[in-house]
Amino acid sequence: MKNIAVFTSGGDAPGMNAAVRAVVRKSIFHGLNIYGIKRGFQGLINHEIVPMELGSVADTIHRGGTILLTARSPEFLTAEGQAKAIAFLQDQQIEGLVVIGGDGSFRGARVLHDAGIMTVGVPATIDNDIAFTDHCIGFDTAVNTVTDAINKLRDTATSHERIYVIEVMGRDSGHIALQAGLAGGAESIIVPEAPFDLTEVCNRLQHGVERGKLHSVILVAEGAGSAIHIGDEIKRIMQLDIRVTILGHLQRGGTPTAFDRILASRLAAKGVDMLIEGKSGMMAGYYKGEIKATSFEDIFNNNQEFNWEDYKLASILAI
């Protein structure tokens, strides 16, 4: 193997730059030529390739976003788009590819693997919804961002003796809501993984009011419903002053935490090792304390486990 390429794809996640940096420097360390593809799968179709050198990734480890840019590519979902991407990689004599992204990106990566291009995945998504990796790059930073937002909203909620409903990202999963809710001491955490009963949420709030709580925070994962709707319902049932905040895309930005940078460095370096060892169609994950390779097939056939212990604990601690 002589020529490999790297790209970032799907929603950006803090720490993607640290992962790109590690792929570039580890590849150069092993004497490989390394190329960056801009805008993910769309960049393959549009022939956006740049040679990467040691200096290309200088001063990037602490930056959010992705220097390679990212995109969601509807064109790559078509047979024609896939053929163009494969032809481009063959034409450029790219023998190995590191795809940094989430589940959708790995599905695209498998298409390339099936076409005979050695392809490995490095998990990066704030949603943390990929099986066989306890952490995806970007999740820790997003949880810290949300926790910081809860702290700030709690200040004003206390001053005004209000209830705040905060909506967080996570697509169909509640991992961000759960971990940030636990860290931020949320009174209720509403996630898609668990059925929720608004009457019970209101009873819990009422109990808090009765024992003199000055404020309450309810965290809603976007996949469980709209915070605006839930806030309106609570207002109707309890006749209390409610404010709703949707944190939105700010959860995807910001400087990555040390944890995410270290994770990105380790997983991306493992991805390069996997290619050198001839592994393809696999993801480099951090699972049960070990950096290990898992096939895309196993990842697609399993869900990231929801942490029910933490869910119960958060509920107990918020009484």
283 phi, psi to nearest 5 deg? -110, 145
Query: CB of 182: closest distance to ligand F6P in angstroms?
Result: 19
**Which residues, other chains included, contact 64 with Cβ-Cβ below 8 Å and sequence gap of 6+?**
12, 14, 17, 141, 252, 253, 254, 255, 256
Query: CB of 115: closest distance to ligand F6P in angstroms?
Result: 25
Question: Is there a catalytic annotation at residue 172?
Answer: no
The string of DSSP codes covering 216-229 is EEEEEEGGG--HHH
Query: CB of 202: closest distance to ligand F6P in angstroms?
Result: 27
d(CA 31, CA 279): 18
Q: Residue 162 is inside which H or E element, if any?
A: none
Q: From edge to edge, which strands make up the β-sheet containing 163-168?
A: 188-190, 216-221, 163-168, 242-246
Query: Strand 242-246 vs strand 188-190: parallel, antiparallel, or unpaired?
Result: unpaired
The residue with tokens 């992705």 is: 66
Closer of 205 and 221 to ligand F6P (Cβ): 221
| Cα four-point dihedral sign 314, 198, 153, 221 | positive
Query: CB of 49: closest distance to ligand F6P in angstroms?
Result: 24
Point out the catalytic residue in the list 12, 91, 103, 127.
Answer: 127
d(CA 54, CA 299): 32
CA-wise closest residue to 77 among 38, 111, 127: 111
Query: CB of 8: closest distance to ligand F6P in angstroms?
Result: 13
Angle of helix 175-184 relative to helix 139-160, nearest 10 degrees, comes to 50
Closer of 102 and 285 to ligand F6P (Cβ): 102
Residues that bind ligand F6P (CB under 6 A): 11, 102, 125-127, 169-171, 222, 252
Angle at 300 between CA 296 and CA 306, to 5 degrees: 120
Closer of 92 and 226 to ligand F6P (Cβ): 226
Query: CB of 174: closest distance to ligand F6P in angstroms?
Result: 11
Closer of 77 and 240 to ligand F6P (Cβ): 77
Closer of 247 and 284 to ligand F6P (Cβ): 247
Q: Check if the beta carbon of residue 129 is closer than 8 Å to that of residue 157.
A: no
Token couple for 19: 């992962």
CA-wise closest residue to 189 among 206, 210, 173, 213: 173
Closer of 222 and 260 to ligand F6P (Cβ): 222
Q: Residues with catalytic annotation?
A: 127
